[in-house]
Structure 1
């Protein structure tokens, strides 16, 4: 306990030196409010959420729509602004220790999503363990799968991760990628994209170019 307190004091003093007093106070107040918001959602969904201390920044929300749904959040997970976490049916969502989730991310879980500790997720990332069953409504309106994201994974901005995806430890997912299937550990994953540029003269109609 003394080591944690000493480390906290040293961190605050370093921040004051590097950032200034006002910014340090504002930043730490924001963190404190985030922890309070996390605790509030834990109270609201007391039967569904198991966690220790985690931070849920402003305008981020957790919605749990079924008494069988479960959310496990590890120590010091940090969820920034405007993130949306939704769990339904028998969904199980696990977020490991010190996971960082950036602004505007969405996580939709109806079966199983696991995010390993120390993983960093960029802004505007979408993670879904299901698709809409547009081919056969008689078998239910959702096709469910699993999403496993390993430890210490880096996920760039605007990534979409769909059902039946396994991402190994220490993998890097390039910004803008759509991920499905297996991504080996210690690898870089990116979708190949080639720009197409067509010149045109001023006043030329678009339909004549295409």
Structure 2
């Protein structure tokens, strides 16, 4: 292992965790939206977010990532996933890895072991980010209200991921299925985007999923 200090950042089970939208009490809104709503929102809280940096052109780096995660390095503007985690291209030498909550430390250790001796960086950024999932037949219309990026299926197929301006701020949009999209957001902007999405979805109906 490298000489870098790596430590468990998650508090013990006695600590009470609150998601970025804890104050919105989304659980109390489940089942209260319009029937057959055009947009369904789910806060995917307490996931682990890790940034990985390295030389994507180096076969040893790609092989090490695959050994640790079982995922191939995604190419520009794409995201790959399996049943447990997703890996998204974030720049020429940077990727965003999202794993189940509580697995961040173990996954980081596996990555560092598999990439031993290489010039890499792995940083746990879970505390500063969160993920919102939007699903339904009218999600694309909501996105069209919110960003100037072209979200037409011809330009934004399943598996694409981009960082862009959204509602006068910035986030990452990921399309994970035909009618399912994810927004990777900064924690400090969670309330702003929650209010924005309520307004942008109003004409189609918004339902909340636990």
TM-score under structure 1 normalisation? 0.26
Q: Which has the higher contact order (CA 8 A, sep 6+)?
A: 2
